[in-house]
Structure formats: structure tokens, C-alpha cells
Amino acid sequence: MSAIRSQQRETSNKVKDFLENLKPEDKIGIITHDDTDGIVSALLFYRFLEKKGCKSISISILTIGVGISNNDFHNADKLIILDLAPNLVINILNSFSSKLILCIDHHQKQEEIPSNIIELRTIGAIPTSRTCYEILEGFVQELDWLAMSGVLADMGDKYPENFQFIRNFFEKNKLRIYDYKRDFVYPIGKMLVYFEDNLNKAFFILKDIKTKEDIKKIIKYSIPVQNEIDKFLDLYQSNKEEIRGAIFFYFEPKFAIKSIIINMISIEVESEDSVLVFATPEDNLIRLSARCQSGRINVGELMKKLTEGLENATGGGHEKTAGGAIMKKDLEVFKERLRRIKL
């Protein structure tokens, strides 16, 4: 245990040094995941960097299966990579080994990263937005409401490791978690869906929301997305497929609502033991989400097995929540693999 504590202390000191040594003249690139947890994490860091006096901050938002161009941040002196598993950014890490890079994440570590990287990796149960808030709290305390939105959007309330963190927030603010999800978490998630083709615009709209009372400014983006959600919630029962112990649902929405739909159904419709795999098309890809609220099946490992070896495929995630992408031509291969796996 002493070796583990020593390693944790060394990591903590390296992160502290990285943050303390940032200078106003530094050019900072932030690379983050395209979900609420990732974008909230980036917003917390953006506010911190503003308070440090940094003037040159670039944002790159990575969508799994699409990636980002190195040109988006090649002028940066230092990189901050948030909520992205090493396998998704290994090319960036290898290409910019001369830069000082801080990685904060909670996904399973699937491959080694260069030794010069400062890596703060928590267990999967702890959303990256919580970690970012806790290490930056002295600078971003007024954004506790935003951090909590990231934690709840990433299903943080389903893991005991977050219970005290969540309880402290709701007791302090005299709020109820159900109301908070309705009034804050869901509107932010729907706004990101509305701006799926221009997430940088969504990022900067959210950046200008200083208090939770201003959240009403983004409600207007929720209405068309909610209409689409209602439509496919209705279609779910008639169109779902039972495949060898899993429930598979393929649908073609106008907006990227797959994660919202699967989260709602996994919590409100199906049992906690249900293994759900949902699929939606996007250009030449099929995007995938998987859930098993009880953790009976590790869906992160399941998605890795189902996508392994397929052309341009990605798959993985956490024990209870996971995702991935495959080529459209491989959809039937994917479903056949699902039929053969014992769940």
C-alpha cells in the first residue's frame, strides 16, 4: 500500500506543479470528449485558465469515430486532455511528446502512454468533471452546479463512490436530485445534442452562463430535441429486438439522442439487469451505446469484444455504460456476434 500511496502523492504533486506553473503567455490546448462530462470538465478548466490570466486557449472536442485534426492545437505550448481514454488519443500523445501534457480521465487504461505525460486517472465510477472540480475548486467554486451536472449526466449517482460528493452538494443547496436533473442536467444534454454539428458553439454559449439561474437561456434548444426523444420512446417497444439476452434497438433520429434514450430506458423502463445495445447511423458509421445498470454484465468489455477486429471500429467504456462505432457494412456482423455471446 505504501508504494501505491507514494505513486498517488507523486502524481498529485506533478498535477499541482503543472497548474501552478501555467503562465498568462502560455498557449493552451484543451482536448475533451463530446459528452456532458467531457465538456463540463473543459468548461471548468477554461474558467480556471481565464482566472490564471491565460489569453490563448483553444478547444478541440473529440467525437469517437471521427477524431480531431492535429492542426486544431499544433500551436499550443501545453495540452490538457480530458475524459478521453488513452487509446483514443495515443496518436496525439505520441505526436506531441515534446509538449507538456496533462491527461485527466476515468476510462480503463487499454494501452501505455508516453512517460512524459502527466496522467491523473481515477476509477471508472468517478466522472472526470468531479475530478476536475475537486482539483480546481479554489478557482471554480461558483461552478459547483455545473460540475454536478457533469457528474449526474455521466451516471455518477449510480456509484457509491460519489454518494458523499453528491449529498454534500444537494444538502448545501437545498435541492432535490430529481428536480436538478430535470432543470439542469437534461437541458444541458439536449443543448449539446442540438449543436451536435457545432459543439464549439455550444461550449461557448455554456461558458457565458455564470450562474445556475441563467440556465433558462438554453431551454429554447431543448424543445425540438425533446420532440424527437418522445417519438422514439414511443417506438421503442414495437421496434426493439431480443438478441440472446440483450435488447437491441436500431433507430434513425434527426438528432444524436441515442445516449439520452438509452439512459432513460435503462432507468425507467427495463430492469437493472437488462443489457441494452442501441444503434444509430451517422454517415458511414453506426454509433453504439450499451448499458447494464446492475453491472451484471461489464458492457465496456462486451463492446470491446463485439467490435474487436472490425474495420475502423472502436468499442469500450465502463462496467455499466459503454459505447463504440462500427462501419455500416458491419452491422449484421456485429449483431451476429451479439447472438453468439453468452450474457
For 341, the grid coordinates are: 455471446
Q: How far is CA 326 from CA 132, 292, 330, 332, in A?
A: 31, 20, 7, 11
pLDDT number for residue 241:
95
Q: Where are the domains of the chain?
A: 2-159, 240-340
In the predicted model, what is the mean pLDDT of residues 84-98? 80
Per-residue pLDDT of 49-88, as tens digits, reads 999 999 999 999 988 666 665 556 778 889 999 999 887 8
Q: d(Cα 319, Cα 179) in Å, to the nearest integer? A: 27
Confirm or reject CATH 3.10.310.40 for domain 240-340, answering yes or no. yes
Give per-residue pLDDT as tens, 180-233: 999 999 999 999 999 988 999 999 999 999 888 899 899 999 899 999 999 999
pLDDT interval class at 311 (50, 70, 90): very high
The span from the CA of 1 to the CA of 179, in Å, is 41
Cα torsion 227, 228, 233, 234 to 10°: value is 70
- Determine if the pTM surpasses 0.85: no
Establish whether domains 2-159 and 240-340 are of one fold. Answer: no
CATH number of this structure's domain 2-159, picked from the four choices 1.10.357.20, 2.40.440.10, 3.90.1640.10, 3.30.70.100: 3.90.1640.10
Centroid of chain to Cα 133: 15
> How far is it, in rounded angstroms, from Cα 240 to Cα 218?
32
End-to-end CA distance of the chain: 35
150 compared with 95, residue with greater pLDDT: 150
Residue 1, pLDDT > 50, answer no
Mean pLDDT in residue range 251-261:
91
CA atoms of 300 and 313, how far apart (whole Å): 14
Q: Phi and psi (nearest 5°) for 276?
A: -110, 135
Arithmetic mean of pLDDT, 128-149: 96
Provide the pLDDT for residue 170: 97
* Helix (H/G/I), strand (E/B), else coil: 326: strand
Q: What is the mean pLDDT of residues 43-47?
A: 98
Gap between the Cα atoms of 74 and 17, Å rounded: 23
Q: Which three cell numbers stand for residue 42?
A: 473543459
